[in-house]
């Protein structure tokens, strides 16, 4: 067939017209396109062959080596494509560094990162940008909260000195179906609330006056029966909080890291970051996120919610009415 490329192509076209998922023909078509220098078409045929093979209960031994070669060829083509694209960018934009958004777009294009979008469990507000992390510098209230880090940490340490102060972050709800969550009742991810369900927690909030005062600087939602919500969140050594999404996309979650041992990390969407003590980490929890503490000590953050900055004052007022009705109805 190699001595008569045109004839070989014609034969393969007839075979694939009769049987579009013929793995052998797809592989040979990919090889033919490779020899002709048409890498994009070759990748398409190789991927079609791999997809067809994945649907079989078992792959014939005669095809296994060829399928492995197809995977390697795809990887080689993709690497060359990426190298050439990055070189073109570097050459044509005059040595200017690419933005983080362009870098992420390149990673998504080349398969190094996935695309994640908002997937709130209970309420979706349309038209909001899909942003995983918000930078501290975007908010004028951040510095006032961060300035109280040492005072907040001192109040936390007094709480930690009290045995049994923390409750499991994920708890079962009386009168409701059991949650399908591996973390239900697990004290290794613990919570100590300052605000819960829109009310200051008696016997706890007054023990942390500097923390409560610091929270007043943030644009925290005020929704009867629902918000504010603020707590110390503790993650014990060796713990992994599985990937999950929050309930709303109208808020951002803020972590003020207070105790962060080495070996801790946090993923939102396709980006993983480390907590830094005293520096707020602000993210959209309606996007998939998870956390790890691979260190040897507890990790503790002050966790609270704020309004998303893109939501107008008028919409915040309307959302407050809606959420208060929902909370009253649920009760």
Do 141 and 261 fall into the same domain?
A: yes
Percent of the chain with pLDDT over 90: 76
| pLDDT the model gives residue 46 | 94
Question: 3-state SS of 236-293?
Answer: CCCCEEEEECCCECCEEEEEEEEECCCCEEEEECCEEECCECCECEEECCCCCEEEEE
Final residue before a domain boundary, out of 71, 92, 113:
92
* 114 located within any domain: no
* pLDDT digits 0-9 by tens, 122-144: 999 999 999 999 999 999 999 99
Which tokens go with 235?
A: 């993650």
| pLDDT the model gives residue 222 | 97
pLDDT mean over 201-228:
97
* pLDDT digits 0-9 by tens, 284-308: 999 999 999 999 999 999 999 999 9
| pLDDT the model gives residue 217 | 98
Domain count of the chain?
A: 2
Nearest CA among 169, 192, 205 for reference residue 258: 192
3: confidence class by pLDDT, cuts 50, 70, 90: low
* pLDDT digits 0-9 by tens, 153-184: 999 999 999 867 899 998 866 655 656 667 78
Has residue 67 got a pLDDT over 60?
yes
330: confidence class by pLDDT, cuts 50, 70, 90: low
Q: Report the alpha-carbon distance of residue 112 to residue 161 in Å, rounded.
A: 44
Q: Supply the mean pLDDT for the chain.
A: 92
Q: Report the alpha-carbon distance of residue 39 to residue 50 in Å, rounded.
A: 16
Interhelix angle for 23-35 vs 39-54, to 10°? 160
Final residue before a domain boundary, out of 74, 92, 110:
92
Do 45 and 144 fall into the same domain?
A: no
Q: Report the alpha-carbon distance of residue 30 to residue 119 in Å, rounded.
A: 38
Quick check: 290 and 243 in contact, CB under 8 A? yes
Quick check: 263 and 236 in contact, CB under 8 A? no
Which tokens go with 167?
A: 């409750």
* 292 located within any domain: yes
**CATH number of residue 41's parent domain:** 1.25.40
310: confidence class by pLDDT, cuts 50, 70, 90: very high
Has residue 323 got a pLDDT over 80?
yes
* pLDDT digits 0-9 by tens, 92-110: 877 678 888 998 999 999 8
| pLDDT the model gives residue 170 | 86
* 277 located within any domain: yes
| pLDDT the model gives residue 148 | 98
Q: How many residues does the chain have?
A: 331
Sorted by sequence, the CB contacts under 8 Å of residue 8 that are 6+ apart come out as 1, 2, 28, 32
Sorted by sequence, the CB contacts under 8 Å of residue 148 that are 6+ apart come out as 210, 211, 213, 214
Quick check: 73 and 30 in contact, CB under 8 A? yes
Do 49 and 144 fall into the same domain?
A: no
* pLDDT digits 0-9 by tens, 187-213: 899 999 999 999 999 999 999 999 999
Quick check: 20 and 13 in contact, CB under 8 A? no
| pLDDT the model gives residue 219 | 98
Q: Which domain holds residue 266?
A: 133-330
Do 58 and 205 fall into the same domain?
A: no
Do 46 and 147 fall into the same domain?
A: no
| pLDDT the model gives residue 150 | 98
* 112 located within any domain: no
């Amino acid at each position: 067939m190699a001595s008569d490329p045109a004839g070989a192509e014609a034969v393969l076209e007839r075979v694939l017209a009769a049987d579009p998922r013929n793995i052998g023909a797809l592989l040979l078509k990919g090889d033919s396109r490779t020899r002709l220098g048409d890498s994009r078409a070759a990748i398409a045929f190789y991927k079609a062959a791999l997809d067809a093979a994945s649907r079989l209960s078992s792959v014939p031994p005669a095809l296994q080596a060829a399928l492995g070669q197809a995977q390697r060829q795809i990887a080689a083509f993709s690497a060359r494509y990426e190298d050439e694209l990055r070189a073109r960018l570097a050459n044509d934009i005059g040595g200017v560094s690419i933005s983080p958004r362009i870098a992420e777009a390149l990673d998504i294009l080349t398969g190094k990162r996935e695309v994640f979008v908002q997937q709130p469990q209970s309420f979706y507000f349309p038209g909001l940008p899909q942003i995983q992390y918000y930078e501290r510098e975007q908010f004028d209230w951040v510095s006032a909260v961060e300035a109280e880090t040492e005072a907040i940490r001192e109040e936390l340490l007094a709480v930690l000195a009290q045995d049994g102060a923390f409750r499991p972050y994920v708890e079962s709800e009386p009168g409701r179906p059991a949650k399908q969550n591996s973390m239900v009742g697990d004290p290794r991810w613990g919570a100590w609330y300052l605000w819960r369900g829109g009310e200051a927690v008696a016997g706890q909030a007054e023990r942390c006056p500097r923390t409560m005062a610091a929270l007043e600087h943030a644009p925290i939602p005020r929704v009867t029966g629902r918000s504010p919500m603020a707590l110390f969140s503790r993650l014990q050594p060796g713990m992994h909080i599985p990937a999950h999404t929050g309930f709303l996309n109208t808020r951002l979650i803020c972590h003020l890291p207070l105790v962060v041992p080495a070996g801790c990390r946090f993923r939102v969407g396709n980006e993983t970051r480390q907590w830094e003590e005293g520096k707020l980490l602000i993210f959209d929890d309606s996007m998939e996120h998870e956390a790890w503490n691979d260190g040897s000590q507890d990790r503790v953050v002050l966790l609270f919610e704020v309004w998303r900055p893109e939501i107008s004052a008028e919409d915040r007022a309307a959302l407050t009415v809606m959420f208060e009705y929902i909370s009253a109805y649920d009760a």
